Amino acid sequence: MRVSSRFPIAVHTLLCITQFEHERKVTSTFIADSVNVNPVIIRKTLGELKAAGLARVDAGVGGAHLARPLSDITLLDILRAVEGPDAKLFGFHDNPNPACPVGHNIHAVLDGHLNATRHAFERELAGTTLADLKQRLSELTA
Amino acid sequence: MRVSSRFPIAVHTLLCITQFEHERKVTSTFIADSVNVNPVIIRKTLGELKAAGLARVDAGVGGAHLARPLSDITLLDILRAVEGPDAKLFGFHDNPNPACPVGHNIHAVLDGHLNATRHAFERELAGTTLADLKQRLSELTA
DNA sequence: ATAGGTGTAATATATTCAATTACAACGATC
DNA sequence: GATCGTTGTAATTGAATATATTACACCTAT
């Protein structure tokens, strides 16, 4: 049971950009050195953030930037950028037996609760923005 | 990003027990036929549910039973039984660079929000009991 | 033209999960 | 007490997923 580490990697990537974009060129290699993963992973992550409208990347010359104000990027936006907008939080066994009353109704009985749980999960993530994280980071590095 | 299907399998298993334990012997093979997985998966699941104090299994003769009242078993109890009590919901990249201010503080900045998200997730699951599910199942099979 | 960087594909490796086979141990029943 | 159906558990296989890494074509400022 795991939300992939691509999510914290994406958050880390965006924080690196906010922290350094005005003082140096923020390349995939620079970010990769902070995150401690391979630069290709950062390029893929940046590609997803770009597709989601959260980041811009200067092709050719290199360097990444935020595409929206910090306060307009939530943790949920970032999660959806890297996992896809309709990624499933819960797995489910395939083809429960329709001839058994339990198997026949298991989805009807459970799905609503699983969706409610996913909503609670997403609501919490939507309540935090990159501005909050940067604020906290400033306090820690002051 | 996926909570393993072992969780819905465990819920399905317990619902099968509540539905049938008074009219027939509920064996791992019987449950496996309803869930549509291999009986060994059900035996492992029942072992975990037993260890968590949610189910009893009659060794030798066979057959599973609930160990607690329906209203005293929440979805969170079941999740913890199959995933372990301290399973992590979020992955995290290893060894962020301590020489970078972002890498050095990424855990301090993020962990609190990730924990809050996990709590919201668990709180929602704790709000539903097997009694609720059985009630809904009764309505559907009536 | 070149140098530094990005985008992307291909491959290798690790991890996790479920399916399956095999078999020892258990307990009711004859 | 031998048998039969069942459980508990280990070992192996196969599929899916994720990350690391290499390679290379393409882009753009200089």
| % of chain A surpassing 70 pLDDT | 100
Q: How far is A59 from chain B (nearest CA, A)?
A: 24
Residue B105 lies in a domain: no
pLDDT digits (tens, 9 = 90+) for A69-98: 999 999 999 999 999 988 899 999 999 999
Give the pLDDT confidence score for residue A32 in this predicted structure: 97
Write down the pLDDT at residue B81.
Answer: 97
Put simply, whether A51 touches B (Cβ < 8 Å) is no
Residue B109's contacts (CB-CB under 8 Å, 6 or more residues apart) are A15, A133, A136, A137, A140
Burial class (CB in 10 A: 0-12, 13-18, 19+), B49: buried
Looking at the domain assignment, is residue B120 inside a domain?
no
Range of the domain at A67: 6-86+129-141
Residue B50 and residue B56 in contact, taking contact as beta carbons nearer than 8 Å: yes
The answer to the question of residue B17 being in a domain is yes
Residue A105 included in any domain: no
Neighbours of B58 (CB within 10 A): 12
The answer to whether residue A106 scores a pLDDT higher than 80 is yes
The residue with tokens 């939507």 is A126
Asked whether residue B101 is domain-assigned, the answer is: no
The pLDDT of residue A49 is 97
CATH at B35: 1.10.10.10
Q: Is residue B49 part of a domain?
A: yes
Which residues from B are below 8 Å from A120, CB to CB?
A: 120-121, 123-124
Is position A47 within any domain? yes
C-alpha B46/C-alpha A119 separation (Å) is 29
* Model pLDDT, residue A83: 95
- The answer to whether the beta carbons of residues B32 and B44 sit under 8 Å apart is no
Q: How confident is the model at residue B21 (pLDDT cuts 50, 70, 90)?
A: very high
Q: Do B8 and A106 touch (CB under 8 A)?
A: yes
Query: What whole-number distance in Å separates Cα of residue B127 and Cα of residue B137?
Result: 17
Residue B1 has pLDDT above 80, yes or no: no
Rounded Cα distance between B35 and A66, Å, is: 47
Report which of B15, B10, B136, B129 is spatially closest to residue B74, judged by C-alpha positions.
Answer: B129
The span from the CA of A10 to the CA of B75, in Å, is 31
pTM for the full predicted model: 0.94
Quick: pLDDT tens for A122-136: 999 999 999 999 999
Which chain D nucleotides are covered by protein, judged by CB under 7 A?
Answer: 5-11, 17-23, 26-29
Domains: count for chain B:
1
Q: A34 lies in a domain? A: yes
Contact with chain B for residue A1, Cβ under 8 A:
yes
The 10s digit of each residue's pLDDT in A21-35 is: 999 999 999 999 999
Give the residue whose CA sits closest to D9 at C1': B44
Is the pLDDT confidence value at B142 over 90? no
Give the span between the Cα atoms of A81 and B51, in whole angstroms. 39
